[in-house]
A and B are shown apart, each in its own frame.
Chain A
Amino acid sequence: MVTRLDPKLFDSTAEVTWCAGCGDFAILKALKQAFADLAILRALKIAFADLDILPHQALVVSGIGCGSKLPDYMTVNGYMTIHGRPLPIATGAKLASPGLHVVVVNGDGDSYGIGGNHFVQTCRRNPDITQIVENNQIYGLTKGQYSPTSDKGFITTTSPDGAIEPAFNPMAVAIAAGATFVARAFAGQPKHVAQMIEEGIQHRGYALIDVLQPCVTFNRVNTYDFYRQRVYNLADEGHDPTDREAAWRKAYEWEERIPLGVLYRADGLPTYDDQVKTLDGGSPVSRLTELAKDPRPAQYESLKDGFL
């Protein structure tokens, strides 16, 4: 009999400071579920034992914003960093220690606003990390200003006449920038969120899961009801996520119907880390561990010849 790894393994005693009803709860629950479910998969496939994800085998990197406090509420290796920068920090960690399952959790402002360049570069870079964006279309932690994903006309304290810019389209940008796994989920469907995170972690390469996640305190437009009336699952309508053209069309669906699920995926492509030749035969962390025991100074002597 296979024992299911209990998601409670990732529970923490830290006080959770999110507002009651916040969609972040759903993502937190889903993430615990996702790691746990993956561990079952590993248990079933002993041959893939290396991929068995336990709290110490994962690293969750977040930025700044409500959702970025998530690592504090889990028992998992976590790094709550600075606004907009979790992707390069996660990329550095992955390149240094490729065995870690690296997951980034941040918000729409963090990822698509202040961290926008890192987002675009990471899409085309394709490191083997998974990013979950808690997209509530507003700056919640600073108490309600419009965000990159706020719809045009959205009224907030910094847009009293309505936001002038059209909303940033993370799905389209990710596809255009070369992301190899682009998905959307909705916090009102936690099982589906968990499923998307699982698929994202299993995907070899960069995976984006943009989670529509209502801010119950500051966003009175994009509510649970707003989404429930519009979302549908792509899998139910026979969408082929490997069809880039179809994905592109789905990325532009928003007003009336909002697609959930994997919009686009390209499997079998080499990740960034796969292609770094200096990672063959050891990682920066494993090599340092060896060098700290035996620095082998003689190995460098011939380098002096380059200066003669």
Chain B
Amino acid sequence: MANVVTNDMSIVIGGDAGQGVESSGAGFCLSFARAGLHVFGIQDYRSRIRGGHNFYQIRLSERPRLSHSNPVHLVLALTPETVDLHLDRLAPGGAVIFPERFGIDPAPAEARGVRVDSLPLMRIAEEHGSKVMTNTAALGAAAGITEFPIAYMEQVIRDNFAAKGSDTVEANIKVANAAYRVARERYGADFPFKLAPVKDAPKRMLINGNEAFAMGALAGGCRFMAAYPMTPATSIIEWLAALPHEYGVVTKHAEDEIAAACMAIGASFAGARAMTATSGGGFCLMVEAMGLAGMTEVPLVIVESQRGGPSTGLPTRTEQSDLLFAINASHGESPRIVTAPGTVADCFEAGWRSFNLADKYQCPVVVLVDQALSSSLVTLDMDGIDFSQVEIDRGATLSHEQLDSLTDGYKRFAFSDSGVSPRAVPGHPAAVFAASSDEHDEVGHITEEIENRRRMMAKRMRKLDQALADDIRSPELHGPDGADVTLVCWGSTFGACLEAAHEINASGGSANVLRFLDVWPIPEEAATAALSRCRRTVVVEQNYTAQLAKLIRMTTGVKVDDSLTKYDGRPFAPEEIAAGLGKEVASGHKA
């Protein structure tokens, strides 16, 4: 047998929608996370409930991983199509496991040095349970061939199937064990990729970006959310709605995204920390309301989890094509902050930080994530979510006590150097006011008077200068200074870029990563300075038009040297980035 590699591999489980690929994949991830392995799991599925190829790709390692990776080492095929679709991605020495009745031709795989192993998975499932447990059999077989202790999987089966009764639990456990034994006996000795529990590993959460964001929002005091279901943002409201009632989070599934954004604005106007979440199509419907929040200086948090557009596009897949849209959304000119978390830990921070920004600058804050970040399951250390770090900063929001001591007539939109005016929420006799989407004076009355218009417009827009001075984060440089190539990125591609840079540096090349965390207002001076220190810059973006490169050029005049874009809806793997840069970059030598 070739050299054994332990705890560094990727597994694909693929099948038709409705075969339990997603739940099997998530359960599988959990069993590895509990064994102390670091997990990065991506879902790849189509916009349908039954039929059509789906897969789950799980990367396993003893160190934290920031993206999925190719090649893969083991494919669990629940349909014949899975074998065809994933064969090209298998590493030499890898294997495909599939049920006995598929009739797969092994020749193409064997030509690649990959083994195709027919196992009696359906028979095992039928013998110990029922045919629907074929996926459990496949997972058991995967544990067998990698020699990963079946006990972890048994525990996940107990947890996940408990509600279905002990018969279902026991049948699944029997199926998993039977498949485990067969696979291990038949192939275990020959398969070079192994998985083993990590001794003394700390407990880790298995969590995705949406869940981490929702936790951050909760800890940040958000107690109102309205949304209309839209993949891949839906799990945010689902998570908050499922919380115990004592947390007091009011969630409203609204009649459409317009209503969702408006309900959040109404709740925020009344004094709550309120948000909505959607994807690009829903965000299209929200932008008029977003302008209202900008004009009337109402804090509002909008999560925009991007997916493949335009129109319905690739509804279950990832893209970063709404950057310029978010920055420019809504007619006229109004202030907004756009931030772009890149990791699950970033999402937690964005959850509470966004509300602080919204309150401090009394404007909309758009959190741009994407399907890859929203849905990928990642292991996170327990202190990766640190509630004690959460601050609730309400900015210039007036407390009841401050309102009690108001002497002069209250001016909700008072002119100020920072552009921010002390904000009262309805309910105090000293601060009765009306806000209007029409241009208004300091009190809030509608006026079209010239001087007032000039001053009021400037006041609103000035808030962004204040945000730049106080809160907007400069782009972060990761990796060695003075590298030959700098990968410039924003949002979820950060993980794959960082891994690509590591890979390039490990193989003799020289690369680092410059990532933008806050994308509007763009930190022009810091961006110019950071970019001017780079030798060769390449933006890496999941869109067609290299939107970050355009934004950088538009705001700083700096032209990024090259762009590596991808708009097929599938997230970048580090190997694709390295390959996209060309051989000379990857190796540091001229070809």
Which residues of A are at the interface with B, using a C-beta cutoff of 8 A? 12, 14, 54-57, 59-61, 64, 69, 71-72, 74-82, 85, 88-97, 99-100, 117-118, 121, 276-285, 287-289, 291-292, 295, 297-301, 303-304, 307-308
A-B contact pairs, 28 of them (CB 8 A): A54-B429, A55-B429, A56-B427, A71-B434, A72-B445, A77-B427, A80-B446, A82-B292, A85-B289, A88-B262, A89-B265, A92-B265, A92-B267, A92-B268, A93-B426, A94-B270, A96-B224, A96-B250, A96-B271, A99-B427, A100-B426, A117-B259, A278-B248, A283-B272, A284-B272, A284-B274, A301-B387, A307-B205
Contact of B458 with A by CB under 8 A = no
Contacts of A304 in B (CB 8 A): 205, 382, 385
- Chain B nearest CB from A286 CB (Å) reads 9
Determine the distance from Cα of A297 to Cα of B256 in the docked complex, in whole angstroms.
Answer: 33
Contact of B327 with A by CB under 8 A = no
Determine the distance from Cα of A82 to Cα of B292 in the docked complex, in whole angstroms.
Answer: 7
Interface residues of B in 158-177 (CB under 8 A from A): none
Given known A-B contacts A96-B270, A291-B221, A81 and B427 have beta carbons under 8 A apart: no
Which residue of A88, A282, A285 contacts B271 across the interface (Cβ within 8 Å)?
A: A285
Find out whether the CB atom of B446 lies under 8 angstroms from the CB atom of A72. yes
Q: Report the stretch among B82-90, B120-128, B435-443 that lies at the interface.
A: B435-443
User: Mask for B106-133, Cβ within 8 A of A = 1, else 0?
Assistant: 0000000000000000000000000000
Identify the interface centre among B385, B399, B429, B433: most chain A CB within 10 Å of its CB. B433
Which residues of B are at the interface with A, using a C-beta cutoff of 8 A? 34, 203-207, 211, 215, 218-219, 221, 223-224, 226, 243, 245-252, 254-256, 258-260, 262-274, 288-289, 291-292, 296, 380, 382, 385, 387-388, 390-392, 394, 399-400, 425-429, 431-438, 444-446
Find out whether the CB atom of B223 lies under 8 angstroms from the CB atom of A287. yes
Find out whether the CB atom of A292 lies under 8 angstroms from the CB atom of B259. no
Find out whether the CB atom of B435 lies under 8 angstroms from the CB atom of A80. yes
Given known A-B contacts A72-B434, A85-B289, A96 and B274 have beta carbons under 8 A apart: yes
Find out whether the CB atom of B426 lies under 8 angstroms from the CB atom of A77. yes
Find out whether the CB atom of A295 lies under 8 angstroms from the CB atom of B427. no
- In addition to A82-B437, A289-B271, A303-B215, 13 A-B residue pairs with Cβ atoms within 8 Å of each other are A69-B446, A79-B296, A81-B265, A88-B226, A91-B266, A96-B270, A277-B245, A279-B250, A287-B223, A307-B205, A308-B203, A308-B205, A308-B206
Contacts of B435 in A (CB 8 A): 78-80
Contacts of A300 in B (CB 8 A): 215, 218-219, 387
Find out whether the CB atom of A92 lies under 8 angstroms from the CB atom of B263. yes
Determine the distance from Cα of A131 to Cα of B566 in the docked complex, in whole angstroms.
Answer: 50
The residue of chain B having its C-beta at the shortest distance from the C-beta of A92 within the complex is B266
Find out whether the CB atom of B438 lies under 8 angstroms from the CB atom of A80. yes
The residue of chain A having its C-beta at the shortest distance from the C-beta of B224 within the complex is A284
Contacts of B268 in A (CB 8 A): 92, 96
A-B contact count (CB 8 A): 218
Which residue of A57, A100, A308 contacts B34 across the interface (Cβ within 8 Å)?
A: A308
Contacts of A287 in B (CB 8 A): 221, 223, 248
Determine the distance from Cα of A191 to Cα of B156 in the docked complex, in whole angstroms.
Answer: 69
- Chain B nearest CB from A104 CB (Å) reads 10
- Chain B nearest CB from A276 CB (Å) reads 6
Determine the distance from Cα of A14 to Cα of B267 in the docked complex, in whole angstroms.
Answer: 27
Find out whether the CB atom of B248 lies under 8 angstroms from the CB atom of A282. yes
Identify the interface centre among A12, A97, A280: most chain B CB within 10 Å of its CB. A97
- Chain B nearest CB from A9 CB (Å) reads 10
Find out whether the CB atom of B387 lies under 8 angstroms from the CB atom of A298. yes
Find out whether the CB atom of B266 lies under 8 angstroms from the CB atom of A88. yes
- Chain B nearest CB from A196 CB (Å) reads 23
Which residue of A72, A292, A308 contacts B394 across the interface (Cβ within 8 Å)?
A: A292
- Chain A nearest CB from B112 CB (Å) reads 37
Determine the distance from Cα of A99 to Cα of B271 in the docked complex, in whole angstroms.
Answer: 12
Find out whether the CB atom of B272 lies under 8 angstroms from the CB atom of A291. no
Determine the distance from Cα of A72 to Cα of B219 in the docked complex, in whole angstroms.
Answer: 37
- Chain A nearest CB from B436 CB (Å) reads 4
Determine the distance from Cα of A151 to Cα of B521 in the docked complex, in whole angstroms.
Answer: 50
Which residue of B207, B266, B427 contacts A307 across the interface (Cβ within 8 Å)?
A: B207
Find out whether the CB atom of B289 lies under 8 angstroms from the CB atom of A82. yes
Which residue of A78, A88, A93, A121 contacts B270 across the interface (Cβ within 8 Å)?
A: A93
- Chain B nearest CB from A232 CB (Å) reads 36
Determine the distance from Cα of A298 to Cα of B219 in the docked complex, in whole angstroms.
Answer: 10
Find out whether the CB atom of A100 lies under 8 angstroms from the CB atom of B203. no
Contacts of B219 in A (CB 8 A): 295, 297, 300
Identify the interface centre among A276, A278, A287: most chain B CB within 10 Å of its CB. A278
Contacts of B385 in A (CB 8 A): 304
Contacts of B254 in A (CB 8 A): 88
Contacts of B436 in A (CB 8 A): 71-72, 78-80
- Chain B nearest CB from A113 CB (Å) reads 14
Determine the distance from Cα of A280 to Cα of B244 in the docked complex, in whole angstroms.
Answer: 12
Contacts of B211 in A (CB 8 A): 307
